[in-house]
Structure 1
Amino acid sequence: MGLILNPGNDNSFIKLVKVKDTRVFVDKTDLIEKTNALCNTDENLVAITRPRRFGKTVTAHMLSAYYSKGYAGQDIFNKLNIAGKDSFTDHLNKYNVIYIDMNTIDGLFDGYANKKQKADGVNDLVDYIEYSIIKELKSNDDFSECLKNHQIENTGLLETLLAITQDLNTKFVFIMDEWDLVYREYRNDEILQRKFIKLLKNLFKADGGQDCFILAYLTGILPIKKYNSQSALNDFDEYNMLAPGEYAPYFGFTDNEVIDIVKSPNCKVSHDDLKEWYEGYKIKGVDIYNPNSVRKAVTRNECISYWSKTSSNEEVVRLINMDFDGIKKDIMDLIEGARVQFDCSNFQNDMVTIEDKNDVFSLLVCLGYLGCSDIAGDEDLKQAYVPNKEIRRALMGLIKKQEWYERMETIKRSEKLLKAIQELDGTTVATLIQDIHNSPAVALLDYNDEESLTYCVMTGLLWSTLGKYTSHREEQTGKGKADLVYEPAIKGTAPLILIEFKYDYSPEEAIAQIKTKEYFKRYAGQYNNIILVGINYSTKTKDHQCLIETLIK
C-alpha cells in the first residue's frame, strides 16, 4: 500500500461509513454498479465534473475502497446498497489502483521543489506526477522484478505500465481527483497545461495505453479542456454541469434522500427550509441539493449560507466585473429571479479564455454559482438561473462589496421602496411595485394571484433588507397567517413591517384584515413601532394600490 498505488488509509468515504448510524449518511454505492458495467469495455474512460462540495472526492474514495487491493471491501460495503447487487463481488478489491489526488500531489511537489537534491528530469508538477507513480510501482513487490528485467530507469509512465501489463497480464484502475487543478491553480502556465494533457493523452490515447486500464475515472470542477473546439481527451465520456448526462443522482442529494434525512429525530430543520436554501440544481429532471450544505445545516440545526465559505469568490467577482454585454445587470436580474439565455458551445473549459458573456455564464454554472436548464432543440443553448437561497445570499454578499453597487438602478429602487414603506408613503410604494412588476424577474410570472404579488414585493425589497431584516411568509400570528412579515435583524434598529395582499379587493380591506385577525399580537410586546401595509392589485385597471399605517395601541 502506498500514497498513490493501492492506498489503504481511512479515506473520507470509509470515515463516513463508520459513523453512518449517527451522522448524515446517504448511500451512493449504486454508482459502483454503473462503473462495474464499464470495466473492460470501450466505454471505460469516464470524467465527471461538479462544483466544489458536491461529493466528488468522497465518491472517488468510494471507488478506490471498492476496487483497490489495498482495502478489505467486504467489511466496508457489506451493509450498503451495492452489496445486494449481482456484480458486487465481481470486481471487489481485485485491482491495483493508481489513485492521484491532485491537491495532495501539488502540495508534495511544493516541498519537493524546495529540496536541494532532486531526481533527474523532475522539473515541474507533471514530471513529479510521473516520477511519483513510477517510484511506487518500482517499490511494489509484485512489480519490482518485472521492472528490473525491463531495465526501467528513465522511461516514461506509459512504458512502465505497458511492461507490467504485458509481462504480468494485469490491468490497473486509474482514479484522478481534481484533474483540472493544473487549469485552475496554474491557469496562466499554458506550457505546463499542454504537458499535463500530453501525459493523459499518452496514457489513454496512445497505442497500447488503454490496454493498461480496466477503468479510468476523472473528477474535477472544470470540464475537460478544449483546444480548437475539440476536447483534449475526447476518448473520455464526459458528464459536467453543462451536460450532466445520467450521473445526476450520484452527486448531491436528491429530494427523496433529503426527505429521509429530515425523518431523523435528531434533525431540527425542515424539509421546506432545506429545499429553499440548498436545492435548485435541476439536472436532467432530477432536483439536486448541495450535499455539503445540507449536512452542515442538519448537524448545526441552522440553514445559512455555507457555500460562501468554500467557493472561489474572487473568481466570481472577476467574472462579474468584466461586465461583458452588461453582465452586472444580468447577474442582479438573476438574483431577483430572472433567467438568462446563453450559449455554451464556444466555452474552452478553462478560467482564462473568457471572451464574452456566454463564457462567463458557462464558467459560473461549472463553479456552481448558477444552475442551468436546457432549451429544446439546441443542446448548446441554456438558461441560467440562481438555484437557491444559499447561492443568492452568497452572490448578493459579493455584489454589495463592489464599488459600483450603489450606482445600480435596481439597488436605488429597492432602497427607495423600503424608505417609502417606513415613511408611510403608499403612493410611492404602489408606483415602485408597478415598476418591479414589469422588471425581467417578475414580468414572466402569471401575475394572477396573491402569490405573484408577494413575490413581486419580496423581489423589490430583496437588496434593501439584506442584513437588516429577515422575512417570513405565511407567518402564524394572532388569529391567522400574515402574508409577509419583515422582522428587523436587530430589534430596536427598525420598525417591524406586516404586509397583507389582496387581489381585486382594496388596500383598505387588507389593512382591516391585519387588524381584525390581530396579526400584530405576536409582536406587540417586542416592538414599539409596527408598520401595517395593505397592497391590492386590480385586474381591471392593471394597477397596484397601497395603504400604509402605523399600529396605534
Structure 2
Amino acid sequence: MAVCLNTDSANRMFHILAHDKYYVDKSGMIEIMNARINTMNRYICITKPRRFGKTSIANMLGAYYGRSYHSESLFGDLKISKSESYAAHLNQYNVIYLCLNDLPDAGNTYEDYIGLIKASITEDIKAAYPELKEKQFRNISDLLTATKDQFIFIIDEWDYIFSHELFPEHHSDFLEFLRNLLKDRPYVALAYMTGVLPIKKYSTGSALNMFKEYTMLKDPFFEEYFGFTEDEVKALCDKQSALTMDEIRDWYNGYQTRSGVQLYNPRSVVCALEDAVCQSYWTRTGKMDEVLFFLKYNIGEVRDDVVKMVNSIPVRIEIEKEFSAGQEKPDNKKEIYSAMIIYGLLSYHDGSLCIPNKELMLEFEASLEDEDFGYVAELVHNSGEILNATLDMNGDAVAAYLHNIHNSELPILKYNDENSLSCVVTLAYLSARNKYRMEREEKSGKGFADFIFHPIRRNLAGLILELKADDTPESAIAQIRNKEYYEKLKKENVKNILAVGISYDTHSKEHQCVIEKL
C-alpha cells in the first residue's frame, strides 16, 4: 500500500472538507499553480501561521493533480472549473505527498526521522515501477530520475524539525536532503512546500534558493487563499442565525493583504459558527505559539508597546527581516515582533503593528499578569480592588486607584489626554475580563460609549464608563444618560446598571470619579 506516492489520502480529506457546511472555495489558487508547472517558478514555499488552512490547500492540490483517482465530481462546481487550464491538469500527475511531522514509532534520532522519509519514497517508487525494484541507486534523486516520469511534490510542515527544535545539529543536513531531492531535477514538475517558518535566510550555501517564498510579511500572490475574506465570512454567516457578522468581525478579523483586503482566521470562524458562540479557539500547540515565549526575550523593551497594543493603539515600526527556520532566539524588539508576525500573534500592515482581534487580545491581556512584566503585572493583580470599589459605588476609591496608575513608571501613561486615560482604565479593570465582556468604543444608544462592561453572570451590575480630560465626571454621567449608552445592556436584560464618570485634570494631575445607578 502506497504511503506517499499517488495515495488516496489527499482526495479523501479534501472530499470531507469540500462537503462541509462552512466550506470556502479556494480552488482559484490552482490556476496560479497550473501556470507554474514545468517553469522556472515551479518551486513554491508558502509559510503561514497554524490554523490558516495550509493543510487544507495541500489536500486540495493533491486531490486535483493526483492521477490515481478521478476527482472531477469534487472540482466540477468549484471556481477552478471555469479556468482554461482546468481540464489539462486535472488528475494528470504522479503526486508525492509528504507530511514531515511524522516521527517513526521506533527510534528518536535524526537518522530514524530522515530514514522514514527516504524509505517511504523508495518503497513506493519501486512498487510502482517494478523494473527498478532490484536495481541499486546512490540516492533517491537517481531513483526518481530512472523512472523517466515527472512528479508533483507536495510537502506539508516542511519546517517541523525547526519549529519543534528537533535535531538542531542536523538542520543543515535536512536542507541538503531537500536540495538533493528537488533542485534542478527534471522529474520535478512542481514543488509545493508549506509550513510556518520561512526558509530563505537559513538556506546556507544556496541550498533552497530555487524556492520562491510567500510569507506573512511578503506575499503578493497567495494572501487571499490563506484566511477568509470579508465577503467569504459574510456568506458563511448567512448559513446560520446564531452569530452576527459584527460579532465574527470583532473576534476573528485583523489580518490584511497588501492591498488592504481584510482577512479572518479561518479555523476560528468555522469553530465559532459550528458552536454558535464567539470565544477563543486559539490552540497552543507548543511554546512557539505562546505570546509570552517571545515577549520574555526582552520584556523591558517591548513592555510599553504591549500596553499600547492592549489598548488598541498601533505601534509604528519597520520590520524588514523575517524570523526564519533555524534562527537563533530573537534578542531585540524587531526580531521578537518579526517572529510574532510569522506566527500570527501580531498583524503588520503599512508599518503598523497591532494585536489582530479579540481572540488574541485575550492572550496578550493574560500575558500582562506574568511577574516578568513587573509593575504592570502588579497593577493587574491588584485590579480586582478597583472593580470592587466601582460595584460599591465608591468613586473616591476609584479615583485614587486611577491616580496611582496614571503616575506609574510607564511612559505611555504620562500622556495628558483621553488616550492615556483610556490606557489607565484598561489596566485598572483588566481582571474584570473574567466577570465581564469588556467592549471599548461600543455603539449603543445614540453614540459610542468609551467602555461598556457586559456582565457574564446575571447577578453582576452592568457598567458604562465615560472618560473626560479637563472636564467633570458629572459631564461624563450626563453624556451617558443623554446618549442612552445603556440601551444595549437593557436589551440584554441587565437589571442593575451603573454609570461611571471619570475625569482627569491635565494641569493638576488629579482624577475624579462619580458613580450613579441608572
**If the length of structure 1 is used for normalisation, what is the TM-score?**
0.80
Measure the CA separation in 1 of the matches of 2:203 and 2:189: 30
The CA distance in 1 between the partners of 2:53 and 2:477, in whole Å, is: 49
The match for 1:219 is 194
Q: 1:355-403, CA deviations, whole angstroms, 9 ceiling, x for partnerless residues?
A: 333322222111111112244xxxxxxx432111111112323443x33
1:362 match: 338
Structure 1 residue 515 displacement after superposition: 5.1
Aligned to 1:335: 310
Q: SS where residue 87 of structure 2 aligns?
A: coil
Does residue 1:278 correspond to 2:273, yes or no?
Answer: no
Distance 2:492 2:296 in 1: 45
Q: State percent identity of aligned pairs.
A: 32
- Map of 1:55 onto structure 2: 53
> Structure 2 residue aligned with 1:235, among 191, 210, 235?
210
Amino acid of the residue matched to residue 110 of structure 1? Answer: D
Q: Map residues 445-460 of structure 1 onto 2, 5 A cutoff.
A: 456=423, 459-460=426-427
What's the counterpart of residue 395 of structure 2?
Answer: 424
Deviation of 1:155 (Å): 2.7
How many residue pairs were aligned? 507
Aligned equivalent of 2:364:
395
Over 3 Å counting, the alpha-carbon distance change for 1:542 and 1:257 in structure 2 is: farther
**Aligned-residue offset at 1:189:** 2.1
Counterpart of 1:322, as a letter, is Y
Give a deviation string over 1:278-331, Cα, whole Å, max 9, x none.
111123122111000000111111111101455646754332222265334443
Q: Which amino acid aligns with 2:364?
A: L
Q: 1:190 maps to what in 2?
A: 168
Give the equivalent residue in structure 1 for 2:6.
6
Residue type matched to 2:280 in 1?
Answer: S
Q: Of 83, 86, 107, which aligns to 1:85?
A: 83
Contact 1:337 1:441 in 2 (8 A): no
Structure 1 Cα separation of the partners of residues 99 and 318 of structure 2? 33
Instruction: Answer yes or no: is 1:258 the counterpart of 2:233.
Output: yes
Matches of 1:427 and 1:94, distance apart in 2? 72
Matched, 1:152 2:140: no
Give runs of aligned pairs for residues 308-347 of structure 1, distance below 5 A: 308-310=283-285, 312=287, 315-323=290-298, 326-338=301-313, 339=315, 341=317, 343-345=319-321, 347=323
Give yes or no for the alignment of 1:465 onto 2:432. yes
Amino acid across the alignment from 1:126: I
Instruction: Give the aligned residue type for 1:136.
Output: D
Distance (Å, rounded) in 2 between the aligned partners of 1:73 and 1:340: 48
Is 1:110 the counterpart of 2:99? The answer is: no
Partner of 1:126: 114
- Native 8 Å contact 2:50 2:343 kept in 1: yes
Distance 2:56 2:413 in 1: 37
Query: Any conservation in 2 of the 1:417–1:460 contact (CA below 8 Å)?
Result: no
**1:306 maps to which residue?**
281
Once residues 192 and 421 of structure 1 are traced to their aligned partners in structure 2, the CA distance between those partners, rounded to angstroms, is: 58
- The whole-number CA distance in structure 2 between the counterparts of 1:484 and 1:32 is 46
Q: CA deviation at 1:212?
A: 1.0
Alpha-carbon distance in structure 2 between the residues aligned to 1:442 and 1:100:
54
Work out whether residues 248 and 286 of structure 1, in 8 Å CA contact, stay in contact via their aligned partners in 2.
no
**C-alpha distance 390-53 of structure 1, shift in aligned 2 (>3 A):** same
**SS of 2:63 mapped into structure 1:** helix
SS of alignment partner, residue 270 of structure 2? helix
Q: How far has the Cα of 1:549 moved from its partner?
A: 2.6
Deviations 1:516-539 (A, max 9, x none): 6594893998556x532224689x
Cα distance in 1 for residues equivalent to 2:329 and 2:89 = 41
Which of 65, 74, 78 is 1:67 aligned to?
A: 65
SS in 2 for 1:498: strand
2:179 is the alignment partner of 1:178: no
Cα gap change, 1:353 to 1:518, in 2 (>3 Å): closer
- Give the root-mean-square deviation of aligned CA atoms: 3.7
CA positional deviation for 1:18:
2.5
- On the 8 A contact 2:200/2:213 being kept in 1, the answer is no
2:435 counterpart letter in structure 1: K
User: Equivalents in 2 of 1:347, 1:545: separation in Å?
Assistant: 44
Amino acid in the other structure paired with 1:37: A
Does structure 1 residue 522 correspond to structure 2 residue 496?
no
Aligned pair 1:17/2:18, yes or no?
A: yes
Contact 2:402 2:428 in 1 (8 A): no
Q: How does 1:461-540 map to 2 (within 5 A)?
A: 461=428, 463-472=430-439, 474=442, 476=444, 484-492=451-459, 495-500=461-466, 506-514=472-480, 519=486, 522=490, 530-535=497-502
- Aligned equivalents of 1:454, 1:523: Cα separation in 2: 29
Q: Secondary structure at the match of 2:14?
A: helix
Query: Residue 489 and residue 311 in structure 1: after superposition, are their counterparts in 2 closer, same or farther (change >3 A)?
Result: farther
* Counterpart residue identity of residue 23, structure 2: F
Corresponding residue of 1:407: 375
1:406/1:467 CA distance change after superposition, 3 Å: farther
**Cα distance, 1:398–1:314 mapped onto 2, change above 3 Å:** farther
Deviations 1:27-71 (A, max 9, x none): 000000000010111000000000011000000000000111122
The whole-number CA distance in structure 2 between the counterparts of 1:337 and 1:476 is 20
1:161 aligns with 2:144: yes
Name the SS for the 2:89 alignment partner: coil
Q: 1:128 to 1:313 in 2, by over 3 A?
A: closer
Cα distance change, pair 510–184 in 1 and its aligned pair in 2 (3 A)? closer
Aligned residues of 1:483 and 1:499 also touching (Cα < 8 A): yes
* Contact 1:47/1:217 (<8 A) preserved: yes
| DSSP-derived class of the 1:47 partner | strand
Deviation, 1:434, is 6.6
Residues 1:263 and 1:544: Cα distance change in structure 2 (over 3 Å): farther
- Deviation of residue 157 (structure 1)? 0.7
- 1:234–1:55 distance in 2 versus 1, CA, 3 Å: same
Conserved? CA contact 2:465–2:499, under 8 Å? yes
Cα deviation, 1:446-465, whole Å, max 9, x if unaligned, reads x79xxx69965763456232
Which consecutive unaligned segments of at least 5 residues does structure 2 have?
none
Quick one: distance in 2 between partners of 1:312 and 1:374? 29
Question: CA contact under 8 A between 2:307 and 2:423: conserved in structure 1?
Answer: no
Per-residue deviation, 1:503? 8.3
Of residues 340-349 and 79-88 in structure 1, the stretch that sits farther from structure 2 once superposed is: 340-349
Call closer, same or farther: CA 1:360–1:482 in 2, change over 3 Å: closer
CA distance, structure 1, for counterparts of residue 450 and residue 110 of structure 2: 66
Q: Residue 433 of structure 1 contacts residue 544 of structure 1 at CA under 8 Å; is this kept in 2? A: no
Q: Which moved more, 1:9-18 or 1:210-219?
A: 9-18
User: Which AA in structure 2 matches 1:35?
Assistant: M
CA distance in 2, matches of 1:348, 1:122: 21
What TM-score do the two structures reach when normalised by structure 2?
A: 0.85
Q: Which of residues 372, 379, 392 is equivalent to 2:348?
A: 372
Match of 1:379 in 2: none
Query: What are structure 1's unaligned runs of at least 5 residues?
Result: 115-120, 376-382
Amino acid at match of 1:283: T
